[in-house]
Homo-oligomer: A and B are copies of this chain.
């Protein structure tokens, strides 16, 4: 019915390589499933294929671990070279405790190991890093989808982050193009005509989380289309979702 939202998996993309055209691969795969992009769609792309296409993959055989990486490796039992890559991607260490590294990335995101991880890559010796500027990556995908299909979509690049206080990880937005990232209710009135003064919903993160319900981790579904969500077109950036340090009680 008309006011439902649909979350549609994009399957059959295959292995993505350095230099590949992510938007083109997704358009082809989506059309091969019998769909077409429509204006108003939100295209959520998981970080891994974006990083691969942008060459943000390192073979660990080329990495020499530092003293700090070797120390952490002794505690957590992970490959010291992978930890070294995470440290190089870290702008600021937020916590280094019991072998867990919580990093602030150059983008400002706070996450484990600066987003460096070894899953879903072509070789067991490889690890991927986050895109250099994932908002710019989202811009590129959005422009390419428009050029290929004529559809004016919003694009979110998602990654899987842990969070304080709660178990388990969820997908959040690390790159956004074409929409407002927050739905701001401040000043609007609720059903009892009271003013809602503080509510700002991080809709880009909720869209990323919703997409994870179909992309998962193992199923070779690197993207999803969310259709029917009335996002507000705009120039929001994923980095707008980073709370400035001076307003953050938990760094």
User: Which residues of A are at the interface with B, using a C-beta cutoff of 8 A?
Assistant: 1, 3-9, 15, 33-34, 95, 97, 100, 102, 110, 118-124, 160, 163-172, 181-183, 185, 188-194, 196, 199-203, 205-207, 209-210, 212-214, 216-218, 220, 226, 229, 240-243, 248-251
Contact = CB atoms under 8 A, between A and B. Distances in A.
A7 B8 contact: no
B200 A241 contact: no
Contact of A192 (B120, B181, B251): B120
Provide the main secondary structure of the chain A interface.
loop
Contacts of A243: 164-167
A122 B190 CA distance: 10
A167 B242 contact: yes
A165 B251 contact: yes
A189 B209 CA distance: 22
A40 B124 CA distance: 37
Contact of A196 (B119, B163, B214): B119
A46 to B, nearest CB: 12
A171 B7 CA distance: 18
Contacts of A4: 6-9, 214
A92 B104 CA distance: 28
Given A185-B217, A199-B119, A1 B34 contact: yes
Contacts of A200: 167-169
A170 B205 contact: yes
A182 B212 CA distance: 13
Central interface residue in A100, A164, A185, A196, by most chain B CB within 10 Å = A164
Contact of A168 (B182, B194, B213, B226): B182
Contacts of A3: 9, 214
B166 A100 contact: no
Nearest to A220: B191
Contacts of A250: 95, 164-165, 250
Given A120-B192, A209-B209, A110 B34 contact: no
- Highest count of chain B CB atoms <10 Å: which of A102, A190, A203: A190
30 contacts: A3-B214, A4-B6, A5-B210, A5-B214, A6-B6, A6-B7, A15-B191, A97-B249, A119-B196, A120-B191, A124-B192, A124-B193, A164-B165, A164-B243, A164-B251, A165-B251, A166-B241, A167-B182, A167-B202, A167-B240, A168-B201, A169-B200, A169-B202, A170-B202, A183-B216, A185-B217, A188-B217, A191-B218, A205-B209, A213-B226
